[in-house]
Amino acid sequence: MMSLLVYPQEEQASAKKQELDYINLFNAEDREDVSCYRIPSIITAQNGDLIAAIDERVPSCGDLKLSKDINIVIRRSDDSGDSWSEIETVVDYPLGRSASDPSMIVDETTGVIFLFFNFMDLDKEKDVYYLKVIKSTDHGKTWSLPVDLTSQITKPEWRNDFKFITSGRGTQTRNGKLLHTLVNKENGLHLFGSDDHGESWYLIDTPILPGNESKVIELVDGTWMINSRVKGNGERYVHLSSDEGKSWVSKSDPSLIDPGCNASLIRYTSINDGADKNRLLFSNARMRDDRKNMTIRISYDEGKTWTEGKTIYQGSSAYSSMTILPNGDIGLFFEKDKYRENAFVRVTLEWLTDGRDCYKKTK
């Protein structure tokens, strides 16, 4: 259970002075056999462990259809990010077949972690995308063999379309439904879901436009909200559905400027869970035309408006993924310095708000 407390003035002052500690979790410069690491995803397992997943791109930094050797690797932390395990490979196909774009969902009912990825056999089926998942029942220590979801969450006529599951993370609604986004460049953004804790999956066949890589969450009134990357207009798009994805109302959000880059959207607190306020968090490279200025912003009105936020890193920064740590801190995992580094950084709500909003988690 979450409890929110106001700290004394001296603790608010210390929050304003917090210095950020960037931990480079995946660095290709340390590996002679890896060209780069890209596409970060991070979640908090039910036992409190952090799981950070990413592409290990071996021959080049090219995306899935450009590289015959991309693996999915992870690092784990059991102390809220103070220390991390060695790099572990969780998806590794033979040369010619690649896996890319990790994303995760934690089922808070069962504790199972689902890790989704996109797959291609560049030797036998070049440019044909398959959508797959592995799962862990022990908080990320071990993982199942991949299961191909393509036939469940796409249509047969999409076979040769440019399609992919959005990297980063999906979500779980209050009734237990698992939800995630996938993009079909020819047929639009879609949602897919599961009502049986990941035993089976289905496509919600309502195209959502415009939208590229996207994040979906449930608002306190049950509305589904998608926040989307859109090419060319310098800002994000927001899509709202009050009927579980059957129909959508879409509009741009001029306050969320964006250079056309994957971002992160998560819930921090909800009055439905006993908190004093609803809080959403949004991270992205806050520029219109350049991947720089990684920023975290807060919404107290379910995404209608956003604070100016705090800059986490002024320099080159691109894809990002957030998670809530067991003590209520916010963990951000993001691409840094032209993809040379993939940094984890931990901040507090107090720091983000200069002490105006303070939080302490208790059981």
CB neighbour class for 19 (10 Å; exposed up to 12, middle 13-18, buried from 19): exposed
Q: What is the rounded distance in angstroms from the CA atom of residue 171 to the CA atom of residue 85?
A: 25
Cα 289–Cα 296–Cα 168 angle in degrees, nearest 5: 80
Q: What is the rounded distance in angstroms from the CA atom of residue 33 to the CA atom of residue 220?
A: 47
Q: What is the pLDDT of residues 116-162, one digit of tens each?
A: 999 999 999 999 999 999 999 999 999 999 999 999 999 999 999 99
203 Cβ contact partners less than 8 Å away, ≥ 6 residues apart: 152, 153, 154, 155, 190, 191, 192
**Residue 1 pLDDT > 80, yes or no?**
no
Q: What is the pLDDT of residues 207-234, one digit of tens each?
A: 999 999 999 999 999 999 999 999 888 9
Tokens standing for residue 325:
């740590």
Interstrand relation of 97-106 and 168-169 (parallel, antiparallel or unpaired):
parallel
Per-residue pLDDT averaged across 62-84, rounded?
Answer: 98
| Confidence (pTM) | 0.94
**Residue 10: its pLDDT value, please?**
41
Delineate the domains of the chain, giving CATH numbers in brackets: 2-11+20-361 (2.120.10.10)
